[in-house]
Structure 1
Amino acid sequence: MATTSEQKKSKSPWGWIAVIGLFLLSKAKWLLVVLKIGKFATLASMFVSLWAYALFYGWKFAFAIIYLIFIHEMGHLVAAKLKKIPTSPAVFIPFLGAAIGIDPKKIKDAKTEFFVAYGGPLAGLLSIIPAFVLYTVTNDPYWVLVMQLGALINLFNLFPVSPLDGGRIVSVLSPKIWLIGLIVLIPIIFLSPDPILFLIFIFGFFTWWGQYKESKNVVIMEHEAMVLTNINNEFERFMYSYDKEYDDERKRNEFTTLYNKLNGQKDKVSRFLSNNSGFKFPIFQEKQRLSIKKHHAEEKALKNTLNIMGREKYNMEEDPQFDVIIEHTQEKNESKRKKINNEVKRIKTYYRTSLQTKIKSLFLYLGLAILLAIILVYAMNLLETSPLANL
């Protein structure tokens, strides 16, 4: 995730606009479908951002922040390319940072998400090396500022709250870590009330809540798939006993009996929902909420089935072939059930990784964070003895 000038905390409205826009972009870059913009947009937006930063903070700082943001985003882009995930070019927006468009559907699992997210701060670490070399050669404290800013930007991004890079990285371990990160963030916000920290918490909470709801939705989707299976079993029994030699009246009566049976089940579910329509508190009344949602899914499956049966019968109004109507309805229910099961499988397996992968990922995450922290402390100590009077 690209970030902007955290060190230069302005109290002006521009600061607030930058913070809000930054996090909107950081969220969007994982959700936007690939943006259709050319490479020219990267260069043009980069120069506009450079001018804007220079206007407020001076050219030296502007060059430093643009360089660090660019390398960070290129890290994400290269990582995505290595995984053959299509992306848009990076786009810079003044006071907001930069972002690349990635289609989330192309990221199949948390291991891939780790790889793409890790590419940003890893490239950020590498971007500090030239500044260290130049400081060693020239002894110019400006390069110390670049080192400090680079370490701060990328270390900040490693905080384990989504949608920061750190949140995406630790998802390979467990998305439950997001909640731990949010809890740790609460006292930090009270001790150091800062708009950027507050917005991290808000976005992080809603990202965690979305993942929590998705895990609960698995149970609901599984219930809906089970209901569709039961309905199709009813159709199987109907087809087994159905005789094409029956007279038209008997055929119609048997079809009507099956239709009424399903309609009765639907009415029973609807009555339950009507009697339990009151508000239920999330988490505290989660069992009741889950039961109601499962009944909604059951009602939906029954309503859709009855609607399909009704449409199929209407299409054959002159000469209704009830066995064909049932077969068509059964096929559509089976298609829906397969889609649900595929989605359930995707959700269940997305964060599933081997113990070896988890250990390796944790080692890489902590190693990068420790290196950046060492560089940050080193640069801060240098700056204390080398004031940047010429900046």
Structure 2
Amino acid sequence: MNNSLRFILVYFTGLVLMASCTNKPQQQQAPPPVAVNTYQVQKGSAVYYDNYPATVAALNEIELRAQVTGYIKGIFFNDGQHVYKGQKLYDIDHETYQAAYNQAVANMNVALANLDKAQQDADRYTELLKKDAIARQVVDHAITDLQAAKMQVAASKAAVARAETDLKFSVLYAPFDGTIGISQVKMGTLISANQTLLNTISSDNPMAVDIAVDQSLIPRFAALKAHPAPASDSMFTMNFNDQSVYPLPGTLSFIDRAVDPQTSTIRVRFIFPNKDNMLKPGMSCNVRVKNNNPLQQFLLIPFKAVVEQMGEYFVFVLSANQTVKEQKIALGQRINDKIVVRSGLKEGDAIVIDGVQKLRDGAKVQLAAPQTH
């Protein structure tokens, strides 16, 4: 019996001890402050480029289509070569159309001879009629023949004009200097008038480069057009998809007449020299517009201070009680190791630039001296 009582007392004593241990408040030790370096946000001028997706276009481009029917008898260029205005490109049955033209001229000469004879007969018979030396019917026939001869001359002249036009179109010449594409027809191909596409020619120097800008930027580009910078300033440059920079600067040619209501953008065209034929119609590139207004001040911060979270950007701003606050910001152009802040910060703010990976909103920090450069 004594053993049973002893066991019960020990059991309940254990339960009391366990309960007291369970109910004892757990005291968690606060994490130590994170050692960080800070940067004092300040304004400054900056030279950088705004980049705009662009497309290269030819200033002049034309499709070469046959205006006569016939067989290709001659091709006088190599695919893709540079051609000059007036250069002979295609022969479309030229000899056949030359023969048709010669025949039309001969027919016209016969008609002119017949007209001359009919005129003489009509004049002579009219004089004889005045002397009652010929019948009226003969004179009437002569006048009718004269009118018919005149109609024949008119018809023959029209035939000559038509044959001359066909003859001219039987040989195609380059309408301007440019690059010709790959021929769509080969020697001996039968082509149809106004249907068959022979080739395409596009001008190649200089070239147009088009961008679409938001309508809010129209005043800026209008000012750039009205007050062009010196050529040496390289205000408008271009780079390719591999980030290589095109060696020659361009000029702002025009701003389109209207805004696209679907996109709220307007087309702006630049002109770039293309003496080495590096630019091709349809090529994708980027136009870089220099922003170097000395009167315009920007908030600049080190890029390493920026934290990205699901497509949004944040920095940690130092508060008065040695804690940090996570602040959402809108970014502008990156300039080397710094970046422009468009909104979310103000001049004089202190932001964390080192140790941001260890921080969370409200974390305690231990500071080094603020940096300003």
Report which of the two has the higher share of helix: 1
TM-score normalised per structure 1:
0.19
1 or 2, which has the higher strand percentage? 2
Larger of the two Rg values belongs to structure: 2
TM-score, reference length from structure 2: 0.19
Point out which structure has higher relative CO (alpha carbons under 8 A, 6+ apart). 2
